[in-house]
Structure 1
Amino acid sequence: MEHLIQHFRKDEQPFIERVMEWKRDVEYRHVMRLTDFLDPREQFIVTSIISQNDELQLHSYGVFEEAERKRMIIAPSYMEFTTDDFQISIFTIDYPSKFLTLQHRDVLGAMLSLGMSRSKFGDIKMIDSTIQFALSEEIADYVQTNLVSIGKAKIQISALTDVDQLIESNEKWVEKTLTVSSMRLDSILSLALKISREKSKLYIQSGKVKVNWTVRESVSFEVHDGDVLSISGFGRIKILKIEGRTKKEKIRLVIGYLEQK
């Protein structure tokens, strides 16, 4: 296990320790453990740790097709459960779409303004004027009562019980091969976004860049295989594969750009 943990970044250690506590709790008390909503990086860490024990089972669920944020269940291998055990509710938002447009950040900001942690909310799906979001059952009543506006827009939210009405994913990754001199964050951003090195540094230092859903303000931050980069105003980039080095000792990368279908 120590060898496994060494592969993660130092600032991920607190979360790793939490996962280890969950693992010990399930092992010794023989109970099912349900997590809050986790981002894909956190899901990867949980999977890496829990999969080391054959006597435990691990499942994830986020309701939406290709959900990004999911709750996870850690349980003894013999225990049975259903999707109801993930305790997820789905709401749809009605708002005057003829008069204004809402964006993802508007919806998320309104949710967090209720005093709830991001970990209590799953994905927010938006297509045209349709908005749906997932959240933990334990806060569903509170959110339904108190989420009455987003910005200046008065809204109404209602529970969605028919999964056939869920918004389908409209995203895809478009691959491209790049060669970079180093795996520094500023170097990769500069080439991937076709902007100057100075501009990429400015984006990073102003807190507009996330790596694996965590803001990184160090231009020399080392990017790894599998990392997801989110850049405000540009979207997302994923390091899909490190293919090796060229004859000039540059690093050849396959990256993915997230696009709408």
Structure 2
Amino acid sequence: MDENIYQHFRKAEAPFIDQVAGWLQDVSDQYRPYLTDFLDPRQQYIVEALVGEKGEQHYRFEGGYLAAERKRALLYPAYFEPTQDDFAIQLFEIHYPTKFSKLSHGKILGTLVNAGIKRDMFGDIMTDGERWQFFVTASMADYIQAQITKIGRVGVRLEAKDYTDLLVPKDAWALEHTTTSSLRVDSLISSVYNISRQRSKELVENGKIKLNWQVFERPDFELGLRDIISIRGYGRIQLREIEGKTKKDKYRLLLGVLRK
């Protein structure tokens, strides 16, 4: 791996960069595809950048549906033609007593993690307001179906589904253009949700913010492309594109925004 690659990313991302380099080396040495677990959007961006730099391998992402956030990456040599089956993704629907119980994204996520399932083993968790579905790696499907019988105190049954049975998710990203004085987390939250910089800083410092699904408490942290921040009580923001700067030296940004 060219040492100059690292300067384009955060220091904390170096281990993942090395991991991607190893995957690409495997594809090159063995001349066969390599399938990753589920990657978050920032990790997908890093894969795109590294494959683009190397140029000898190809990549494709699949998360079960077009607007998926978390996706598996298939890295493959030029001769290979990927199909959807190559991504080995299983869709599950959660059956539960809808008249008497409510589920939430947090409860489902917590149940899966507490069952000993690594976060990169499952993809998006989706709802249409009543029904709930999620994606997992096919290799974990039997284990998950046997292990998950309750979510919180609610008895549930997981049913394997085909892609054709995918529900239409209620939440949808809206594309928004904005300008901001910096790429700091507190600045962006303030701009998008029209709250004071002090309030957005407090949200971060009080643990109300997740960056790429991990809690962090640095309001001065600068976002990079494809980063997603989740703000409890407000929604989510993804940095899609940095479109340049205004005459007043502010950043012009294209964002994906979910508002609660």
TM-score, scaled relative to structure 1? 0.89
User: Cα offset for 1:197?
Assistant: 2.4
Q: Secondary structure at the match of 1:236?
A: strand
Residues 86 and 14 of structure 1, relative CA distance in 2, 3 Å threshold: same
Separation (CA, whole Å) in 2 of partners of 1:175 and 1:228: 14
Separation (CA, whole Å) in 2 of partners of 1:220 and 1:207: 14
Residues 230 and 32 of structure 1, relative CA distance in 2, 3 Å threshold: same
> Does structure 1 conserve the Cα–Cα contact (< 8 Å) formed by 2:42 and 2:225?
no
Q: Secondary structure at the match of 1:60?
A: strand
User: Cα offset for 1:103?
Assistant: 0.8
Aligned to 1:33: 34
Report Cα offsets for 1:170-204 as digits up to 9, x if no partner. 41314143343x33222222232222322212211
The amino acid that maps onto 1:13 is A
> Does structure 2 conserve the Cα–Cα contact (< 8 Å) formed by 1:201 and 1:219?
yes
Whether 1:21 aligns to 2:17 is: no
Q: Percent identity?
A: 39
Q: CA RMSD in A?
A: 2.1
User: Cα offset for 1:105?
Assistant: 0.7
Whether 1:77 aligns to 2:78 is: yes
Whether 1:124 aligns to 2:149 is: no
Task: Count how many residue pairs are aligned between Structure 1 and Structure 2.
Answer: 257
Separation (CA, whole Å) in 2 of partners of 1:8 and 1:245: 25
Return 51-60 or 111-120, whichever deviates more: 51-60
Aligned to 1:47: 48
Aligned to 1:188: 188
User: Cα offset for 1:223?
Assistant: 2.6
> Does structure 2 conserve the Cα–Cα contact (< 8 Å) formed by 1:243 and 1:252?
yes
Q: Secondary structure at the match of 1:102?
A: coil
Aligned to 1:208: 208
User: Cα offset for 1:10?
Assistant: 1.0
The amino acid that maps onto 1:107 is I
Residues 184 and 108 of structure 1, relative CA distance in 2, 3 Å threshold: same
User: Cα offset for 1:21?
Assistant: 0.6
Aligned to 2:220: 220
Separation (CA, whole Å) in 1 of partners of 2:157 and 2:20: 37
The amino acid that maps onto 1:102 is L
The amino acid that maps onto 2:65 is F
Residues 2 and 201 of structure 1, relative CA distance in 2, 3 Å threshold: same
The amino acid that maps onto 1:64 is Y
> Does structure 2 conserve the Cα–Cα contact (< 8 Å) formed by 1:62 and 1:122?
yes
Whether 1:158 aligns to 2:198 is: no
Residues 254 and 63 of structure 1, relative CA distance in 2, 3 Å threshold: closer
Q: Which runs of 5+ in 2 are unaligned?
A: none
Whether 1:140 aligns to 2:141 is: yes
The amino acid that maps onto 1:198 is Q
Separation (CA, whole Å) in 2 of partners of 1:208 and 1:40: 20
Separation (CA, whole Å) in 2 of partners of 1:125 and 1:225: 24
Runs of 4+ displaced beyond 6 Å: none
Residues 172 and 188 of structure 1, relative CA distance in 2, 3 Å threshold: closer
TM-score, scaled relative to structure 2? 0.90
Return 221-230 or 62-71, whichever deviates more: 221-230
Separation (CA, whole Å) in 2 of partners of 1:142 and 1:6: 41
Aligned to 2:89: 88
Report Cα offsets for 1:226-261 as digits up to 9, x if no partner. 5432212211123343441344x444444442258x
Return 2-11 or 206-215, whichever deviates more: 206-215
The amino acid that maps onto 1:113 is N
